[in-house]
Structure 1
Amino acid sequence: MSQHREPFMKEVAGLPVLDTHTHLVGDRLCAKDFWEIAHYFWFFRELQAAGYPADAMDLPEEERIIQFLAAYRATRNTLMNWVVTNLFQTLYDIELSDEAAVRRADAAVRESSQRDGWAQQVADKLQIRGFVVNIPEHAEFQGMNRNALLIPRIDGRLGEWVKSIHQAEDPSAVFEEMCAVISKLLDDYQQLGCTGIMTTLPAYEARANESYPLTRGITKDQIMMRLLHKICEELESKGMFLQLFLGVERSWCGTAVPVNDPARILKLTGLFERYSCKFELVVASEINNLDVVQAAWNFPNVHLGGLWWFNFRASTYRDCMQYRSEALPGIKCSLIASDARCIEWSYGKILLVKRLMGEYLYEQVEAGWLDRDTALQLAEAWLYKSAAQRYAFTT
């Protein structure tokens, strides 16, 4: 069957995609120069590990290019280096081989950023049919065929609500006030056409199956869990879904780190059981990848999203595809969440995931676990159909 591998890989590469989590901004979708691509957080961390200075943008350009090339060559084994290398080869036909090539790449990115239709052209190369953003002001995608799908994030508001209740002399009264605010906010989002909301959650020492009285002394985590119950109750009544981003903590130091909490999903199962609204779980901590599969297997209203932050690795993608293909129908699972801040990085990350997916599914076909049609059906669900159905997205 080896002669069939390349046609299969090309077929997966040509499938439609819905990018379920981006930081794209509608009036500045494209990278403005080479450095906006090269200094994207994920690759920048790998460059720094190879000695690239944190203040690289303060260096004279000539020295910056020299330092970049040294770190770029030292990171040729890393996943994000693969993305950058292939991004420039396939979008700009440039190999980052020397200083002159970096300058050509910078000129090419500057030119493309001013070109009408470039963002749509990049999306079309990988059949990216839609993008999700979380801020209303970012959703109007200029120069593209359609605007972004808006799934508003409420984590900042959630933190404010918790703080207000925790500081109140009468937590119960303030909780009721916040419930009215939540109901109004979700009504407003529904009027905007939003089919769901998203929030990150910090570490929480509270369980959804417990009742916590709203009295002085209630902890912030317990208040948060009470508010999550109210949010789910409202979402259920409105036919909306809740997207939960879990596994990144910011309280340990000045940067975000992954935290593997074996009880993280367990503590939420009381929500999954009590409310019929759909939940989409997106995790950044490797140990929880199997936990979310078990939750989706146990609860019909729990769905799985893409891999976030520190989970964006070839190894975790392969493990997750194995876990999910064994236990869940494809329509319950999405695998694309680029977290990109420019259209070029959305392209690069999806290029990588399509390759990993094609390799994994072809191996399953070759081993006799899946037939070809089933493998392609699974790929289409993972890349597009699952999220499109959950978000009521149509092209």
Structure 2
Amino acid sequence: MDKLYENILSEVKKLPIIDTHEHLDMEEHRVKKGVDLFSLFMTHYASSDLISAGMPVEDMDKLRGNQLDIDEKWRIFKPYWERAKNTSYCQCLLIAVKDIYGVDDINDFTYQELNARIVSMNKPGLYRRILKDMSHIELSICDVYWPDPFLLDEEFYRPAVRFDEFIFVESSDDISALEKRHGRYINSLNQWVRLLEDTMKEYKEKYHICAVKSGLAYSRILRYERTDYSEAEAIFNQLLSARGVGSEFCIQTKPLQDYMMHKVVQIASEMDLPIQIHTGLQEGNGNVITNSNPSHLINLFMDYPQARFDIFHAGYPYGGELSAIVKNFPNVYADMCWAHIISREYAVRILEEWLDTIPANKIFGFGGDYIFVEGVYGHQVIARENIARALANKVEKGYIKEGQCLDIAQRLLYQNPKDFFKL
């Protein structure tokens, strides 16, 4: 079995990747602002596990800031790192520091040298070395809230843009914020929808966005009911009448939000833009996991059969539900972005299940989902190992032949997202 796995892995390591989801800060911004070991690696993911292990949020803020020297930060960091370094989040960082910076561990004897190497290598060319040369990532789909034409290098990225601010409207302040951003005064729901449509069209033509993204599972349940225009309009008019009152003027806006989500899906589908939706675990500490079950989205999948949905994060921990959904709906695809570092065991297990239930062209094998490139590198190492392990397990059980493995892996890591996003 070990030999089989190693044979498959050696071939999987050679494959290029289309990375379905990133939050990467642009290289010029990172180089300009500077980083240290802790302000970089405690941006997210591993930081959540350290807080889960007991670190006070105030101490995490100190690690992310620039008021303490590296030794003072280490004294805060060390006890919680020792508690949490078993997790896949933390193991991902260890892979990155070993392969990128030549440091075998993060401990009392290495943190100063590791920090020095991170600081010295934080210069132009770092992203090319890590993303292209080491990770073999052809393109990354980068999640941006409002694109800036000077941010995204098309050699590295394609943008996916969130339109959640058109959906998650809770006060007149939310309307005013988009009016200011776009320089348009809004006095009706029809004008709000027109602004959404015009903005999406502009971003596709001007910025070449390849997808629409929604992350509202962090803020509300993913069930978007079909709402009558009149009901949504009445709520929107209430918000307009509250101009000047401020965000404390509370109105129940879920029906309006539901209506606008349907509009986002309709318009994206008409523009041939796929819709990426966060499901499953929310990053950070403390949220309502049941809000993010992908089964809440079934009515959208039914109502818009021409729309194409990319469902994120292997639905963790709802991968079984997602398996049934993707099997049943031709317009719904399963994405393993983030999942490999949430749990390696889960990723292998759910991929084995999916290869029993889902056509192989409907699975996307990797999205790094990181703010910093070192995390992307470590994540793709783990993803390649997980895919090779799942395939080896299928061969060992007699479910597939070894000769099929490379074709499946190539589909997952490259061809499927390339076709889906029309890259």
Alignment-derived partner of residue 35 in structure 1: 38
Matched AA of 1:183: E
Question: Is 2:50–2:81's contact at 8 Å kept on the other side of the alignment?
Answer: yes
Partner of 1:232: 265
- Compared with structure 1, are the counterparts of its residues 126 and 258 closer, same or farther at alpha carbon in structure 2 (3 Å cutoff)? farther
Q: Distance in 1 between the 2:126 and 2:341 partners?
A: 29
Deviation at 1:47, TM superposition (A): 3.0
Superposition map of 1:1-395 within 5 A: 2-26=2-26, 27-28=28-29, 32-50=35-53, 52=55, 53-54=59-60, 55-56=62-63, 57=65, 58-96=67-105, 98-114=107-123, 116-123=124-131, 124-135=133-144, 136-137=147-148, 140-141=151-152, 146-160=155-169, 163=171, 174-192=188-206, 193-201=208-216, 202-204=219-221, 207-208=224-225, 211=228, 213-214=230-231, 216=234, 220-247=253-280, 257-261=287-291, 264-283=294-313, 286-308=316-338, 312-393=342-423
TM-score by structure 1 length?
A: 0.84
Deviations 1:310-335 (A, max 9, x none): 98222331232123211112221113
Mapped to 1, the partners of 2:368 and 2:42 lie a distance apart of: 16
Q: In structure 2, do the counterparts of structure 1 residues 163 and 378 end up closer, same or farther at CA, with 3 Å as the change threshold?
A: farther
Cα contact 2:370–2:376 (8 A) shared by 1: yes
Look up the equivalent residue of 1:229 and give its one-letter code: H
Q: String of CA shifts for 1:322-361, please: whole Å, max 9, x gaps.
A: 2321111222111322221111111111211221221121
Query: 2:138, 2:367 → 1: CA distance?
Result: 14
For the 8 Å contact 2:21–2:141, the answer to whether it is kept is: yes
Deviation, structure 1 residue 24: 1.0
Contact persistence 2:161–2:211 (CA under 8 A): yes
- CA distance in 2 between partners of 1:40 and 1:325 (Å): 34
1-side partners of 2:307 and 2:413: how far apart?
23
Q: Size of the alignment, in residue pairs?
A: 383
Structure 2: tracts of 5 or more residues without a match: 176-186, 237-251
Distance 2:24 2:198 in 1: 27
Segment drifting more, 283-292 vs 346-355: 283-292
Q: Distance in 1 between matches of 2:196 and 2:367?
A: 27
Is the Cα contact below 8 Å between 2:339 and 2:347 reproduced in 1? no
CA–CA distance in structure 2, aligned partners of residues 257 and 310 of structure 1: 21
Confirm or deny: 8 A CA contact 1:164 1:174 kept in the other structure: no
Quickly say closer, same or farther: Cα 1:98–1:270, change in 2 above 3 A. Answer: closer
CA contact (8 A) 2:294 2:322 kept: no
Q: Percent same amino acid among aligned pairs?
A: 15
Give the aligned CA root-mean-square deviation in angstroms: 3.3
Flag as ranges the 4+ runs of structure 1 deviating above 6 A: none
* TM-score scaled by length of structure 2: 0.79
Q: CA deviation at 1:278?
A: 0.7
Which consecutive unaligned segments of at least 5 residues does structure 1 have? 168-172
Please report how far the alpha carbon of residue 150 of structure 1 lies from its aligned counterpart in structure 2 after TM superposition: 0.7
Match of 2:278, SS state, is strand
Structure 2: distance between partners of 1:352 and 1:310: 7
